[in-house]
Amino acid sequence: MAASAPPRRVLVAWSDDWADTARTLRWSLAHVVRPSDRVSLLHVRCTEGLLPTALPVVEVSMPLPTLLSAWHSGDLGPASKAVAYALQTLQSAAAEVDATELRTTLSRSDALIAFLRHTASSSEPPAFLVMGSHGARNVGGATWKVSHTSLDVAAQLTVCPLYLARPRDAATLDVASEPESVPSAPASRSIVIALDGAAPGSSLLTRWFISNALRPSDHVTVLHREVGAAQEAADAELARCCDMLRSASCAGARFASFKPSTNLQTLLGGASTFRLPAHLVDLSESGLDATQGPPDLMVLGSRGEAAMSLKRLVLGSTADYVLKMAACSVLLVPPLHLTVPGAIP
């Protein structure tokens, strides 16, 4: 990570669930926070009829020493110790840490969206928002497959990217028996970036990813599907994306091209049907192949061709499905944000 990286305002949503908050802080420390960042912690407190109608969201600055008692009623269990230790580590890792409570008569997701839209026009707009499960539950043997606040925020988010943190490593997950375990940044991450080959969107998403999320030792896989009659134009756009990845200042990042519509048909004995969203979810659980495990992160644009409803006009059907079902962390980048310049980590 370059020491000259410019400061950013990083927003991290603070859940009512101790364990979820601890995991989100731990994951943020390992994957996104830079020493030059200002990290703003956001907690939503829903009220009933205590705010004037003209003020559906009231922002209240919170002193860091009071957070644990104010936001979790002074709970002293193992998970609370994990939160306290992660918060202490965050204060050492970032240039500045502050906290804001959003008191609101709205839903949690609507309050967060209102705050993001307000701060987007400020002198210090957010670089991105990090969220954890915010109440997601396991369904049978599957993880992270129930809609929750994070998904509602993703469906409306246009002003900044969203990291949905879904850690799988034991050092991040085990907050009860290892309250003082804060994992260091991984030596190498496996990242999948899904591109549709449309110009200039694919190039813009690749450029934003290189400037804002790529690390020197990352192993990057570009995942794309064949698009029939428009394949020649899509191939030219994807070639530009590959060239950008190969020539990125983070020269240690590797590139692999994978066309699932071809490879999957071979594996399935010539089957002709292929659904990209389902394949991305399968990949998040099983990995690319026998030699490479599941990715640490998937990168997606937030709007796709198959937008059929008001929600999907923003989110896109592929992103909608992957956010609900993927077993790994997801970075969702809205199209309006792609032209915002960034700095290479």
Distances from the Cα of 314 to the Cαs of 1, 150, 210, 239, in angstroms?
32, 15, 23, 27
Say yes or no: 34 and 147 in one domain.
yes
User: What is the structure's pLDDT at 339?
Assistant: 55
**Residue 335 burial by Cβ neighbours in a 10 Å radius (0-12, 13-18, 19+):** middle
Say yes or no: 196 and 166 in one domain.
no
User: What is the structure's pLDDT at 212?
Assistant: 87
Does the residue 1 lie in any domain? no
User: What is the structure's pLDDT at 198?
Assistant: 80
Where is average pLDDT lowest: 140-144, 234-238, 290-294, 299-303? 140-144
* Alpha carbon distance 158, 156 (integer Å): 6
Please tell me the pTM assigned to this model.
Answer: 0.86
Beta bridge partners of 300: 332
* Alpha carbon distance 174, 111 (integer Å): 30
* Alpha carbon distance 98, 179 (integer Å): 22
Higher pLDDT, 149 or 291: 149
Residues with Cβ within 8 Å of residue 272, at least 6 apart in sequence: 265
Higher pLDDT, 338 or 72: 72
Does the residue 185 lie in any domain? no
Q: Which tens digits make up the pLDDT trace of 181-238?
A: 888 888 888 899 988 888 888 889 998 898 889 888 888 888 876 666 577 888 888 8
Q: With the C-alpha atoms ordered 294, 150, 122, 37, is the resulting torsion angle positive or negative?
A: negative
**Residue 329: closest CA among 289, 286, 288, 295:** 295
Q: How many CA atoms lie within 13 A of 45 on its CB side?
A: 17
Type of residue numbered 84: A
Say yes or no: 134 and 196 in one domain.
no
Say yes or no: 292 and 216 in one domain.
yes
Say yes or no: 99 and 212 in one domain.
no
Band of the pLDDT at 256, cuts 50, 70, 90? low
pLDDT at 165 over 50: yes
User: What is the structure's pLDDT at 119?
Assistant: 92
User: What is the structure's pLDDT at 250?
Assistant: 57
Number of domains in the chain: 2
Average pLDDT over residues 327-338: 83
- Kindly report the CATH number assigned to the domain that includes residue 50: 3.40.50.620
Domain that holds residue 221: 190-337
